[in-house]
Amino acid sequence: MTETDAATSVRYRRFAEIEARGYSPTYDEWCIGISGDPELLALLDTLPPPRRQPNLFLGAARFVGAPLGGYASFRSFVLDRWPGIRDVMASRSTQTNEAGRCAVLLPSLAAISASEGRPLALIEVGASAGVCLYPDRYAYSYSPGPVLEPAGGSPVPPLACSASGDVPWPSRLPEVVSRSGVDLNPLDAANDDDTRWLEALVWPEHGFRAERLRAALGVVRAEPPLLVRGDLNEHVLPLIDRAPSDAVVVVFHSAVLAYLDPAGRERFRTTMLRLAEDRARPLHWLSHEGQGTLAGVAGAMEKAPGERDGRFVLQHNGRTVARTGPHGQSIEWL
């Protein structure tokens, strides 16, 4: 095994043990298999290191049609269909779009709208297909906590979220008057290839997430947001300028900053703190990111000793307010 093979092997073993174990037995088994398979590791190592990412490979293989089953059938599918899988890995990136994250954003969004006495103009940076721009269209079931739903119900199954701490529960969903976002590669909820790609990124055993994704994409299709293509640092100010002046702007992001280099993260953070402090127009910044992502960025939280995960940090105007499940499945108010 060459040195790069060894690095890829370690990467897949870690992914199996730290990320997939307990959440996806299929991906756990496949990644353990890959980590000890010189032939597959050699194929992966024909790609540049960032494109050897487990989630990208697993999603690409399923996008091309890999059957769910044991490692032997996965392996023979990959050997048979490698050129097609490789093309997907070279042209697509991981853009998982998770409506469930609205459950951990909602208490802050509702509190912002209530305290400013205005409806919301939402701007999501790193929006993917934009399913997180519709927090007012989803139903929520917090436990313990309230059940909330839009007047007339929601076509999306309720977003279940376990709660702890003193969460500032909203009494109703906030009003949203505009939805816009930016992404390096905005996905189109009306495009079959894009929606199939998003489904391939949902882990095999998470059928409820696939169902939720399909329904949420229907919400996006019914009333598409303004999504611009490009880098968030270049586009956030023009998007703020376009927002209706009688609304309170909330710029938010979820699972995005990991894709930026430290300079890009720091530039964005400085911009957002400056805007949030400027009282000329009401603007708030909600950041929902992995704890590791924030390391090195001032205001980051340390991982608790022995913490394995996994968990995300929710910050409001740079101040940490909660720890959350990465897909919005839990919120611990601090």
Ligand X SMILES: C[S@@+](CC[C@H](N)C(=O)[O-])C[C@H]1O[C@@H](n2cnc3c(N)ncnc32)[C@H](O)[C@@H]1O
- Region binding ligand X by CB under 6 A among candidate stretches 77-85, 126-134, 139-147, 275-283: 126-134
- CA separation for the pair 301, 294 (Å, rounded): 7
> Considering the complex, what minimum distance in angstroms separates the CB of residue 252 from ligand X?
8
**Taking the complex as a whole, how short is the minimal distance between the CB of residue 92 and ligand X, in angstroms?**
10
Residue that is written with structure tokens 């739903």 in the block? 149
Binding mask 132-171 for ligand X (x = CB under 6 A): x---------------------------------------
Among 98, 136, 194, 289, binds ligand X (CB under 6 A): 98
194 belongs to the binding site for ligand X (CB under 6 A): no
Closest CA to 291 of 334, 232, 249: 334
CB 283 within 8 A of CB 289: no
CB of 269 to ligand X, least distance (A): 13
Give the interface segment with ligand X, choosing from 89-97, 107-115, 146-154, 308-316 (CB under 6 A): 89-97
CB of 233 to ligand X, least distance (A): 7
Least Å distance, CB 76 to ligand X, is 30
Q: Can residue 184 be called a binding residue for ligand X (CB under 6 A)?
A: yes
Q: Does 311 bind ligand X (CB under 6 A)?
A: no
Can you tell me the distance from the alpha carbon of 148 to that of 143, in angstroms, rounded to the nearest whole number?
12
Q: What are phi and psi of 169, to 5 degrees?
A: -65, 135
Question: Given the complex with ligand X, which of 101 and 311 has the nearer CB atom?
Answer: 101
| β-sheet bridge partners, residue 332 | 164, 323
Compare residues 32 and 60 and give the one whose CB is closer to ligand X. Answer: 60
**β-sheet bridge partners, residue 320:** 315
> Is residue 96 close enough to count as binding ligand X by CB under 6 A?
yes
Q: Nearer Cβ to ligand X, position 40 or 123? A: 123
Q: Considering only residues 236, 239, 247, 255, which one is a binding residue for ligand X as defined by CB under 6 A?
A: 255
Asked whether position 95 contacts ligand X by CB under 6 A, the answer is yes
Residue 19 touches ligand X, criterion: CB under 6 A = no
Measure the CA–CA gap between 277 and 281, rounded to whole angstroms: 10
Name which position in 231, 266, 309, 332 contacts ligand X (CB under 6 A). Answer: 231
- Contact between 266 and ligand X by CB under 6 A: the answer reads no
DSSP labels for 26-94?
A: HHHHHHHHHHT-HHHHHHHTTS-GGGG-HHHHHHHHHHHTPPSS-HHHHHHHHHHHHHHHHHHHHH---
Q: What is the identity of the amino acid at 133?
A: L
Q: How far is the CB of 288 from ligand X (least distance, A)?
A: 7
CA angle 32, 209, 99 (to 5 degrees): 120
Query: Least distance from C-beta 201 to ligand X, angstroms?
Result: 8
The minimum distance between CB 134 and ligand X, in angstroms, equals: 12
Give the total of residues touching ligand X (CB under 6 A).
Answer: 23
3-state class (DSSP) for residue 263: helix
Kindly report the three-state secondary structure assignment for every residue of 141-183: EEECCCEECCCCCCCCCCEEEEEECCCCCCCCCCCEEEEEEEE
Q: Which stretch binds ligand X (CB under 6 A): 7-15, 43-51, 82-90, 179-187?
A: 179-187
SS3 331: strand
CA dist., res. 299 & res. 315, Å (int) = 9
Q: With binding defined as CB under 6 A, does residue 123 bind ligand X?
A: no
Question: Sign of the CA dihedral 77, 83, 87, 89?
Answer: positive
Residues that bind ligand X (CB under 6 A): 94-98, 101, 125-128, 132, 182-185, 231-232, 253-256, 259-260
